[in-house]
Amino acid sequence: MTNKTLTGLITGPSLFSYIETLPLSEHDDIADCDNFAILIADERYNRYYDTERWLERYIGVLRAIGWSIYADAIFTRTQHVLTGSVADFLVESASAMSDTRQGNAMIDTLDSLKTNRPALLSFDRESASGDSFQVVPARYDARGLLNIAVFKLELNAYMKRTNFLFWTWEKHSARIVQRKAYLRLNKTILDGQRVLINRRLEKKRMERFDLSQNRPMNG
């Protein structure tokens, strides 16, 4: 027998990847928080042409609704020459994180996404084929608190490609610009902001696509 296990989520221009299956309540929480922050940031800045200030606004909104920043790597801007696919780059980046399980989790998430055509089409559209998108690994820390790493990415390539995540780019034909921040959820603060978040999302809620894999069941 098999059991479907959540490996992540696509919503708007954001791809979430989970080390372990999140309870549905927290799976919904991170989608709601992300959608809320995107909508508020979009009201002030263009996510494709004013990326740095858009990201500052996005992170500022997350902080206001319960996500605190930690670690030193905040808005660090780096450039990387792609050799291969963006998906390969994401796996390499996740594998280099302090929790080594992130690499395998990203592989599972991308494998689930690869066969989900509606999710791929939505992600291509919302990110303008990679012009601006977020990749957000999520995990629980030793205290059981939900942590996320927000990687804000821009694909600079000589041409646009649909299904850009899995396209194999020739060396020197594409670059990735990356900024990142690490955040931890304070559930008490979030609980106090739910009415505000829900009121805003009732007016507009982004499409969501659960990413899951069939896993063998014990017994």
24-83 confidence digits (pLDDT tens)? 889 999 999 999 999 999 999 999 999 889 999 999 999 999 999 886 556 677 888 888
| 92, 101, 141 from 98: Cα distances, Å | 12, 9, 11
On whether the CB atoms of residues 205 and 73 are closer than 8 A, the answer is no
- pLDDT above 70: residue 214: no
Average pLDDT over residues 172-192: 91
Residue, of 126 and 95, whose pLDDT is higher = 126
- pLDDT above 60: residue 205: yes
Residue, of 77 and 154, whose pLDDT is higher = 154
Mean pLDDT (the chain) is 88
Cα gap 58→63, rounded to integer Å: 9
The reported pTM is 0.90
- pLDDT above 80: residue 100: no
Return the pLDDT at 63: 94
Cα gap 55→57, rounded to integer Å: 5
**Token code pair at residue 100:** 């080594």
Burial code (b: 16+ CB inside 10 Å, e: under 16) for 165-189 equals bebebeeeebebbbbbbbbbbbeee
**Least confident interval from 73-77, 120-124, 198-202:** 73-77
Percent of the chain with pLDDT over 70: 92
